[in-house]
Amino acid sequence: MSALRTLEFDAIIVGGGGSGLRAGLQLAQSGRKTAVISKVFPTRSHTVSAQGGITCAIASDDPNDDWRWHMYDTVKGSDYIGDQDAIEYMCNEGPKAVFELEHLGLPFSRTEQGRIYQRPFGGQSKEFGKGGQASRTCAAADRTGHALLHTLYQANIKNNTTFLNEWYAVDLVKNAKNDVVGCIAVCIETGEKVFVKAKATVLATGGAGRIYASTTNALINTGDGIGMALRAGFAMQDMEMWQFHPTGIWGAGTLVTEGCRGEGGYLINKDGERFMERYAPNAKDLAGRDVVARSMVLEILEGRGAGEKGDHVFLKLDHLGEEVLNKRLPGILELSKTFAHVDPVKAPIPVVPTCHYMMGGIPTNIHGQAITVDENGKDQIINGLFACGEAACVSVHGANRLGGNSLLDLVVFGRAAGQYIEKALDQGIEYDEASESDLEASLARMNRWNESTGGESIPALRAELQECMQNYFGVFRDGPYMEKGIAQLKDLRERIANAHLEDKSDAFNTARIEALELDNLLEVAEATAISAYERRESRGAHSRNDYTERDDANWLKHSVYMPTTKTLGKRDVNMAPKLIQGDLLKHFEPKVRTY
């Protein structure tokens, strides 16, 4: 008999970053009993680190800008496995969502006309790739994520959203029919375990960049929602697709925004050559991130990297002048001085491609409803479960995300999930109660750690996992190497299952949180590894030395990883946007992708 306290809500949102706060705001405004569960105080979420901006056709820089051009860029950027219904929804709804943020008070930078300032970003074009570089990324200097996250948190304060801050969601709770009816969460300050019961559970837990040794991601990005969904037996989509951001600070991993290149900065190799001119003659440094990251690695592999080990290249900004840098990129000046000991006004920043973003995640429709796949490969809506933001794969990013599209994804689909749940609650939602044994099942993992009496240490296992992913599943991948990686992960699974949680105390036990996070890192890593091994082609961010070409005949598909069998299936990409039909084309046909 468990003595669990139950907290009951109409809807719970796990995660207090951009998408979680946007969903929370929508539901709080509707008057629904809503709680946001966040393992950190919400403004400490990783959205705060987003720098360059939010891409959206608000027609400020160019009065003739068109959301369909943004859609074209995004479909092309995705290497054609982004779902065109979802991309269409995002690009079309985007302006509304961005103006809402401004009305909430987001301190966007401004043009002389008083409108929102927009800067050029990678992969952006006008007139479906024919009209040259667009400037479509709305910015608050180079602190757009910070401004966005704080604004959304403030709006939630105004609307009296309930926050369970510094609470950690452990596992989903399912009833006998496999409906999700809430989660087990622990209050970090007291250690109390609680059943948080809800008619709708939204996973807005963000990314999992910490599966890699070198990442721009915050220490908290451990894929908790992905781990929870995988343990519940639900499918995961396109997990092989990890974006390596071209400009992480060499050695430290901290992000340097693509906005630097948008404002006119460019990459040089050790000879001072602007090498992107060779790889992407048109877009140069503003080609897709996957293209730029691969070009950098090739420069390094071919001996044109800088430094004693020849293991990095440089981002040159000094020619932009101190005034522009202070005005447009003040945060970068700070970060570069702190982490690279370089003042970009005078010298170039040493940079290297660094794990940045998880394009894959929990498959959802445009309402945020989570989807799994049955034995016959058919989509099944998971009752009670929703996902949005980086944890979700709706999929607007496909095989490669464009810069500035993540913040748009957060607010558009956080909002959409909130709107859908509001309507569903109005119509009434009833699921069977979870039984005692259902609750026990969700507590098993926590109990395992609490009962551990010996075994390996958590930090050492985590470091080994991160090295494994870095070595075998990085920018370039190769079958035989990936086999080694998969074998190592299998070994790690066994050792993590027997690892030791030394500190068993209740009050603010961060060692226990790190143990629970390690379980999630392992789930994400394994899903990534098996998906990467099984997708036998190169597409977007997934680049294989043994299958160097894109294979549309076999792989113009989402990959779908099933945790119960550890196998990879396929799912059709949506090629049926609703609004552009007749207007133009039926949809955007796959083409050879060049920049």
Partner 1 sequence: MLQVSVYRYNPETDEAPSMKDFEIDTQGKDLMVLDVLHLVKEKDSSMTYRRSCREGVCGSDGMNMNGKNGLACITPLSEVVKNGKLILRPLPGLPVIRDLVVDMSLFYEQYERIQPYLINDTPAPAIERLQSPEDRDKLDGLYECILCACCSTACPSFWWNPDKFVGPSGLLQAYRFLIDSRDTATRERLSELDDPFSVFRCRGIMNCVSVCPKGLNPTRAIGHIRDMLLSNAT
Residues at the annotated binding site for substrate? 245, 257, 356, 401
Given the residues 289, 462, 477, 512, select the one marked as catalytic: 289
Q: Which of 17, 12, 11 is nearest to 411 (CA)?
A: 17
Task: Please count the residues of this chain forming the interface with partner 1, following the rule CB under 8 A.
Answer: 58
Instruction: For residue 499, give the amino acid letter.
Output: A
Closer of 498 and 545 to partner 1 (Cβ): 498
Q: Does 491 help bind partner 1 (rule: CB under 8 A)? A: no
Distance CA 308, CA 318 (A): 23
Closer of 113 and 453 to partner 1 (Cβ): 113
Q: Minimum CB separation from partner 1 for residue 115, in Å? A: 7
Contacts of residues 182-186 at CB distance under 8 Å and 24 or more positions apart, as own/partner, are 182/12, 182/434, 183/12, 183/14, 183/37, 183/228, 183/442, 184/4, 184/439, 184/442, 184/443, 184/446, 185/37, 186/446
In 117-211, beta strands by DSSP E: 118-125, 133-138, 162-165, 167-174, 180-187, 193-203
Q: Does 256 help bind partner 1 (rule: CB under 8 A)? A: no
**Contacting partner 1 within 95-154 (CB under 8 A):** 95, 98-99, 102-105, 107-116, 140, 143, 146-147, 150, 154
> 289 catalytic, yes or no?
yes
Q: Minimum CB separation from partner 1 for residue 157, in Å? A: 6
Q: Does 391 help bind partner 1 (rule: CB under 8 A)? A: no
Non-local (6+) Cβ contacts of 389 within 8 A are 15, 17, 18, 19, 20, 204, 205, 206, 409, 410, 413, 414
Could you tell me whether strands 379-387 and 369-373 are parallel, antiparallel, or unpaired per DSSP bridges? antiparallel
Closer of 152 and 232 to partner 1 (Cβ): 152
Binding residues: 15-20, 38-53, 224, 245, 257, 356, 390, 401, 406-407
Q: Minimum CB separation from partner 1 for residue 290, in Å? A: 24
Q: Does 45 help bind partner 1 (rule: CB under 8 A)? A: yes
Closer of 44 and 570 to partner 1 (Cβ): 44
Q: Does 189 help bind partner 1 (rule: CB under 8 A)? A: yes
Closer of 233 and 455 to partner 1 (Cβ): 455
Q: Minimum CB separation from partner 1 for residue 59, in Å? A: 9
Could you tell me whether strands 34-38 and 162-165 are parallel, antiparallel, or unpaired per DSSP bridges? parallel
Under 8 Å between Cβ of 2 and 18: no
Distance CA 368, CA 393 (A): 9
Structure token pair of residue 381: 């809506």
Beta-carbon-side half-sphere exposure of residue 450 (alpha carbons within 13 Å) = 10
Closer of 35 and 48 to partner 1 (Cβ): 48
Distance CA 595, CA 592 (A): 10
Please choose, out of 35-43, 237-245, 263-271, 300-308, the segment that lies near partner 1 by the rule CB under 8 A: 35-43
Q: Where are the alpha helices (DSSP H) in 124-223?
A: 144-158
Q: Minimum CB separation from partner 1 for residue 247, in Å? A: 14
In the three-class reduction of DSSP (H, G, I as helix; E, B as strand; rest coil), residue 227 is classed as helix
Q: Does 205 help bind partner 1 (rule: CB under 8 A)? A: no
Binding residues for FAD: 15-20, 38-53, 224, 390, 406-407
Enzyme catalytic residues: 289
Which positions touch partner 1 (CB under 8 A)? 40-41, 43-46, 48-49, 58, 95, 98-99, 102-105, 107-116, 140, 143, 146-147, 150, 154-155, 157-158, 189, 218-220, 254-255, 331, 334-335, 338-339, 457-459, 502-503, 505-511
